[in-house]
Amino acid sequence: MASTPDNPPQLSPARTRSVSKLIVDYIQALGIPLVFGVPGGSLEPFIQSLKKSADNGGTQLILARSEAGAVHMADGYSRESGQLGVCCATSGPGATNMLTAVASAYADGTPLLVITAQTALATFGRGAMQEGSCTGINTLAMFQACTRYNTLVSHPAQLEPKLLAAISHALGPTPGPVHLSIPRDIFQANIEEQGGHGSFRAFFGQEIEPNRRQLTQLKLLLEGSRSGAIVIGHGCEGAIQEVLSWAEHKQWPIVTTPMGRGLICADHPLFRGVFGTAGHESARVLLSETQVDTILVIGANLDESATCGWDGSTILSPRMVHINANPEQLSLSYMAKFNLLGSPKLVFNFLNQHPGQGQKPPEKTNASNTEGQQPKIKMLHLSDCAHDSVPINPRRLFWHLSQQVDAETRLFADAGNSFFWALHYWQQQYLPDNEKNLFRIGIGFASMGWACPAAIGSALAAPDKAHICFVGDGSLLMNSLEISVAKEHQLNILFVVLNNQSLGTVKHGQRLQGVEPTACKLPAVNFAALATAMNIEAYRISTMEQFNTLGVQALFERPGPIVLDVLIDDEVVPPIGERLRALRMGDKK
């Protein structure tokens, strides 16, 4: 049973237990049923504890195909479940293989517990196979810059306080991955019963309550604003209904950051699109208008992707009011006229206590029409969304599929053209009371190869929900074997491969920057045949008519994953203008 603030997890007492079993007991006490990882010699004691747990109906290991894939799966699992994602790897190369994926979770603020093994303490500095000690290839030092907490457990008695500290940091106000490095002999060591292990209540289920005086100041400031606009970031998850209630009362138009895209329905009458990387002109114009004297930013990480490359004429201006429960993100809005640290849900519960709250929200309109345009959202190359072509136009592909999936389908889009197309053209209709962010990208670190394993982790957390994963052919060539995990567990995921035989973002980026395209061509690969070799149902798609024949919803009703190898037009330029502008900011004049 998952733990809640009213039902905090409890650790069952035991006379003695090994360090590895104690870790598994804590994970199980948190209500986490899955750990993602790849075994190895130094990690074996922990793997055996997981096996015994699984045999008794407890937490089990999901065997990934790579250590990076294990971390990405834990990332996707955490985003879907709202729980801590847990992953593990053996010493040396097992740990180093995790680094890029851990950095990706760090950049996006995903809470993960990363457990890596070390060779036995007595072997440190002696050149043991796969040694990663401080006197060898120092893996602990490598994790320092991409984790919220990072430590070596060098004695059994250190385990509990360090594990609790790690979990606290992972789930705290600046969430992210934490790392415990544990030698093989420490995993095996027994711990005597200490009596009264207590609970996780000290840091479990906490929300940051805003200062009451500042809440009153915020309310007065907003009431005094002549006009305003709202920017929704991914930190609004769990509070979106409160935010929308206030926005509908004020009739302030709304945009989202790229990471917040899945929190508002495409047909909401106040929605003006995505602002930032691959965003919409309607969103940029709204935030650039001088008559909008207040830009209310909620739960946003003010990085390159969310600010159009740190554009000082839009979000990052003295017109900004920033509400955020993450103090690190709040510190980036030093130019704002008002900053408030606190839970968005608690803030808007307060703001919604005003006259007129009960007024009827504006009627919603149907976002779909024959031209593919959403009301009040200005998309690029709009006509492409309405007409079929061969090879398939990716603009048409994304818009069309977004109209075919149901309201609860989870979208994952990989780094590169996949998330550029998705951000601009994916116009899914969500349920009116949706609280989850159903549009998922790893844009902070933009690690290629994130989406497929992340979708797998999410589908393991919500096996009854449909998942669609867009991945470029370049990304899939990096980690194609992870999709076999989806087959092993019969997960309901539709993998859509954008096959254009190129690293598309690199190719078009080079062209648009006026340099000679190079190192961007990929060989022709039949990904449907590759999937078939893994006993996965697969189709090679070259026309939109083939999509209609298959029926997207019918594909989701079949058991197990399906791979669609879609041949797309490699000459269609993705919406990467803001990304290129940010790159040029760093060029020497």
pLDDT tens digit sequence for 280-310:
999 999 999 877 999 999 999 999 999 988 9
One domain, residues 229 and 323: yes
Tell me, yes or no, whether 106 lies in a domain: yes
Tell me, yes or no, whether 151 lies in a domain: yes
Q: Which residue has the tokens 């690190």?
A: 328
- Helices 344-351 and 240-250: crossing angle in degrees, nearest 10, is 30
Instruction: State the total domains in the chain.
Output: 3
One domain, residues 518 and 448: yes
pLDDT of residue 219: 95
One domain, residues 125 and 239: no
Please report which confidence band the pLDDT of residue 231 belongs to, taking 50, 70 and 90 as the band edges. Answer: very high
Q: Worst-scoring range by mean pLDDT, 12-26, 143-157, 194-208? A: 194-208
pLDDT of residue 373: 45
pLDDT above 90 (res 146): yes
One domain, residues 281 and 413: no
pLDDT above 90 (res 449): yes
Alpha helix (H) ranges present in 297-416?
A: 327-330, 344-351, 394-404
Q: Which domain holds residue 515?
A: 382-581
| C-alpha separations of 358 from 216, 224, 354, 524 in Å | 21, 21, 9, 59
> The domain spanning residue 20 has which CATH number?
3.40.50.970
Tell me, yes or no, whether 495 lies in a domain: yes
One domain, residues 166 and 295: no
Residues in contact with 311: Cβ distance below 8 Å, sequence separation at least 6, in sequence order: none
pLDDT above 90 (res 587): no
One domain, residues 147 and 84: yes
pLDDT of residue 125: 83
Rounded mean pLDDT, 129-153: 92
One domain, residues 536 and 574: yes
pLDDT of residue 362: 42
Tell me, yes or no, whether 586 lies in a domain: no
Q: Which residue has the tokens 């609860």?
A: 408
pLDDT of residue 491: 97
Q: Phi/psi of residue 192, each to 5°? A: -70, 150
pTM: 0.93
Tell me, yes or no, whether 375 lies in a domain: no
| Final residue belonging to a domain, choices 192, 224, 254 | 192
> The domain spanning residue 291 has which CATH number?
3.40.50.1220
Largest CA distance in the chain: 73
Q: Which residue has the tokens 């747990």?
A: 53
pLDDT of residue 174: 94
Rounded mean pLDDT, 236-262: 96
Mean pLDDT computed over every residue of the chain:
90
Please report which confidence band the pLDDT of residue 576 belongs to, taking 50, 70 and 90 as the band edges. Answer: confident
pLDDT of residue 2: 59
One domain, residues 394 and 541: yes
One domain, residues 95 and 148: yes
pLDDT above 90 (res 121): no
Beta bridge pairs of residue 37:
63, 88
pLDDT of residue 375: 55
Q: For residue 353, count CB atoms less than 10 angstroms from its CB and return exposed for 0-12, middle for 13-18, buried for 19 or more.
A: exposed
pLDDT above 80 (res 15): no
**Helix, strand, or coil (residue 470):** strand
**Helix, strand, or coil (residue 120):** coil
pLDDT above 80 (res 193): no
Q: Mind listing the pLDDT tens digit for each residue in 503-553?
A: 888 888 888 888 888 999 999 999 999 999 999 999 999 999 999 899 998
Q: Mind listing the pLDDT tens digit for each residue in 399-446?
A: 999 999 999 999 999 999 999 999 999 999 999 899 999 999 999 998
Rounded mean pLDDT, 570-577: 86
C-beta separation of 296 from 323 below 8 A: yes
**DSSP assigned state of 221:** H
Determine the Cα–Cα distance for residues 81 and 103; give it in Å rounded to an integer.
Answer: 21
Q: Mind listing the pLDDT tens digit for each residue in 368-390?
A: 343 444 458 989 988 999 899 99
Please report which confidence band the pLDDT of residue 53 belongs to, taking 50, 70 and 90 as the band edges. Answer: very high
pLDDT above 80 (res 90): yes
C-beta separation of 323 from 214 below 8 A: no
- Which tokens belong to 165? 């500290």
- Other CB atoms within 10 A of residue 115 CB: 26
| Final residue belonging to a domain, choices 351, 372, 398 | 351
One domain, residues 117 and 233: no
Please report which confidence band the pLDDT of residue 13 belongs to, taking 50, 70 and 90 as the band edges. Answer: low
pLDDT of residue 511: 85
| Final residue belonging to a domain, choices 301, 329, 351 | 351
Tell me, yes or no, whether 200 lies in a domain: no
Tell me, yes or no, whether 245 lies in a domain: yes
Residues in contact with 587: Cβ distance below 8 Å, sequence separation at least 6, in sequence order: none
Determine the Cα–Cα distance for residues 475 and 496; give it in Å rounded to an integer.
Answer: 12
One domain, residues 416 and 554: yes
One domain, residues 465 and 562: yes
Tell me, yes or no, whether 358 lies in a domain: no
